[in-house]
Structure 1
Amino acid sequence: MSDPKYGEPVEETTPSADATSADDAVASAHEGLADAEAASRDVAVDESVAPAPVEPLESTPAPAEAAEPVVTASEPVHGSLYANDPVDEAYVPGAYSDPVAPAEVVAPVVAPAPQPIFVQAPEAPRPRGNRAAAGLIGVLAAIVFGLLYLGAALGLGALAGDVTGENLGAKATSALTGWWFWVPVVVFFLAFWFLGAIINRGRWGAWVIFGLLVGAAAYGGHILGQLFQAPFWQLTASQGEEVVRGQVLAPLAIAAFVFGRELTIWFGAWVAARGKRVSELNREAQREYERTLEAGPRVQQG
């Protein structure tokens, strides 16, 4: 039977007896294969029950190879507390703990630094002087000197017959306006004050000794007053010398010396007494200052 070519009509065939016999053969073959397979299963079960012979192992040393470290479950795992504890791969830190409130940052309390307390140191007492008092007392002494000097001049004038009861007032008034009276008074005052400035708080003995110098100054003031009264700027040298020579031993010049010296002694005693009190006050102030230094500084509560 030849294959049909393209474009030729195909003849229809009907199953024959040969095809039927082939199908029967295939079916019987399948049945035989099924029986053989079932038999083989039974034999396999029987063989599995029987123990298999054990063959001895040959103990031939094998070359040691470098064993690589193998991490097993028995070794500690990073992050676990103990080596045998199972590792919870799904553990999230803080998932099973109570939420922690954030701590408040409190600024540390800084104790204030001690402030320095400034205490004014006591000042050393300034020693008190006696010069101003000597000047004031010298003014009183000069007034007394002027009165005594004027009285002596009027008395000497009365002895000479120049001063009488009728012209006593006029003579006294003219004396208060003349150079011969004021110059010795001013010189006496300046000499007394200068000596008081030197002696200051000294003792009375210094006034007694150096009172002679004040008396000499008063004596010189008398002569200088006579020159001013002349007046000396209108005199020649010889005339001025004659005036000085005439007053060297004049009774009023000697009276000026005596008054100046005696008043210095007695008013000097007053100045010395006050100087003694001032010295005591100075010593007391110094002792108080030393006690304050020994006691140390004190904080005054306001």
Structure 2
Amino acid sequence: MSDSNSPIGEPVEEPTAADDVVGNVEDSLAEAEAAGQAAVSDSSAELSEDLYGPIEPDSLDDLPRASETATTAYEAPVYDPAAETVVVTPSEPVVVPPAAVAPPVAQPIFVQAPEAPRPKGNRGAAGAIGLLAALAFGALYLAARLGFGAITGDVTGENAGSKALEAVGTWELWIPVVVFFIAFWLLGAIINRGRWGHWVVFGLLVGIAAYGGHILGQLFQAPFWMLTARQGADLVDAQLLAPLAIAAFVIGRELTIWFGAWVAARGKRVTELNLEAQREYERTLEAGPQLVRS
């Protein structure tokens, strides 16, 4: 068949069967693509309608674009080292870190401070030595009484023993002895560790006490509770310058000096011991606490 519009003398190409097949394939592909796009559009419309409800054409402009939605919804993950989980496979060696061992806590050691030494006194020794001095005073006082009795003729060789035994059981012998002991011990308590010079000076007071003890012994021997005031005064006046009263004063004074020397010597020794104890205490404090291991 020839085309009436084609120029005369030019060959006219007739459609072949191959061209028809290619054309049919292209048409089929175009139809399939159109059908796929329609299906995708319908699926998107149904999905949007299920999620957001029916979409009006006018509200399509209000929907966020895909690029904006993706930008808004996406957030960069934050790396948290504490939340990281490390999975150790069996092929890897498991290393267990050693447990932290707390260092031993030093226990405080309480050391009791040494007590300061208490100074030793000499009053007890003065009392003990005073007892010996009192016994000596009693013996000398009795001897003086017998001696003065021998001078007056009241005591002879035959009755000396009986007179001595008689005097031992009387107030006029023991009252001066007791008064002398009390005076000696009080002086020793006052002087304490004092020097011997204190006994020499203040021994006069013990002699005066012994003198008063003699007069007091005579009053007890009377006895004074059976005497009137006048008789008591006459008795005291008669004994003020009695030879035995003077003897009591002298004996008491001398015994205090010599027995006081004994007390003073011991007091000096006690003073040295106190000084040594104080030095040892100071050396202990300077050395500080010592840890002794058994």
User: Same fold, TM exceeding 0.5?
Assistant: yes
- Deviation digits for residues 226-274 of structure 1, max 9, x if unmatched? 0000000000000000110010000000000000000000000000011
| Residue identity opposite 1:165 in structure 2 | G
1:25 corresponds to which residue? none
1:41 corresponds to which residue? 17
- Deviation digits for residues 203-242 of structure 1, max 9, x if unmatched? 0000000000000000000000000000000000000001
SS in 2 for 1:121: coil
1:271 corresponds to which residue? 263
- 1:255 and 2:247 are equivalent in the alignment: yes
Structure 1, unmatched stretches of 5+, are 1-38, 48-65, 72-77, 80-92
User: Does the Cα contact within 8 Å between 1:204 and 1:272 map onto a contact in 2?
Assistant: yes
Which residue of 195, 198, 209 maps to 1:203?
A: 195
1:135 corresponds to which residue? 127
Deviation at 1:288, TM superposition (A): 1.0
Please say which of residues 156-165 and 99-108 is displaced more in the overlay.
99-108
Which residue of 212, 218, 241 maps to 1:220?
A: 212
User: Does the Cα contact within 8 Å between 1:188 and 1:218 map onto a contact in 2?
Assistant: yes
User: Does the Cα contact within 8 Å between 1:145 and 1:259 map onto a contact in 2?
Assistant: yes
User: Does the Cα contact within 8 Å between 1:204 and 1:268 map onto a contact in 2?
Assistant: yes
- 1:153 and 2:116 are equivalent in the alignment: no
Deviation at 1:301, TM superposition (A): 2.6
| Residue identity opposite 2:164 in structure 1 | A
Structure 2, unmatched stretches of 5+, are 1-14, 24-64, 71-75, 78-85
- Deviation digits for residues 19-54 of structure 1, max 9, x if unmatched? xxxxxxxxxxxxxxxxxxxx833446999xxxxxxx
SS in 1 for 2:257: helix
Determine which structure has the larger helix proportion and give its number: 2
| Residue identity opposite 1:190 in structure 2 | I
SS in 2 for 1:124: coil
Q: Structure 1 vs Structure 2: percent identity of aligned residues?
A: 67
Q: Rg: which structure is higher?
A: 1
Deviation at 1:174, TM superposition (A): 1.0
SS in 2 for 1:292: helix
Going from structure 1 to structure 2, the CA distance change for 1:168 and 1:228 (only over 3 Å counts) comes to same
Instruction: Give the alignment's Cα RMSD to 1 decimal.
Output: 2.8
Q: TM-score, normalised by structure 2?
A: 0.70
CA distance in 2, matches of 1:134, 1:156: 32
Number of residue pairs aligned between Structure 1 and Structure 2: 226
| Residue identity opposite 1:209 in structure 2 | V
User: Does the Cα contact within 8 Å between 1:119 and 1:299 map onto a contact in 2?
Assistant: no
- 1:178 and 2:170 are equivalent in the alignment: yes
User: Does the Cα contact within 8 Å between 1:214 and 1:261 map onto a contact in 2?
Assistant: yes
Going from structure 1 to structure 2, the CA distance change for 1:162 and 1:200 (only over 3 Å counts) comes to same
2:5 corresponds to which residue? none
CA distance in 1, matches of 2:19, 2:292: 124
User: Does the Cα contact within 8 Å between 1:223 and 1:247 map onto a contact in 2?
Assistant: yes
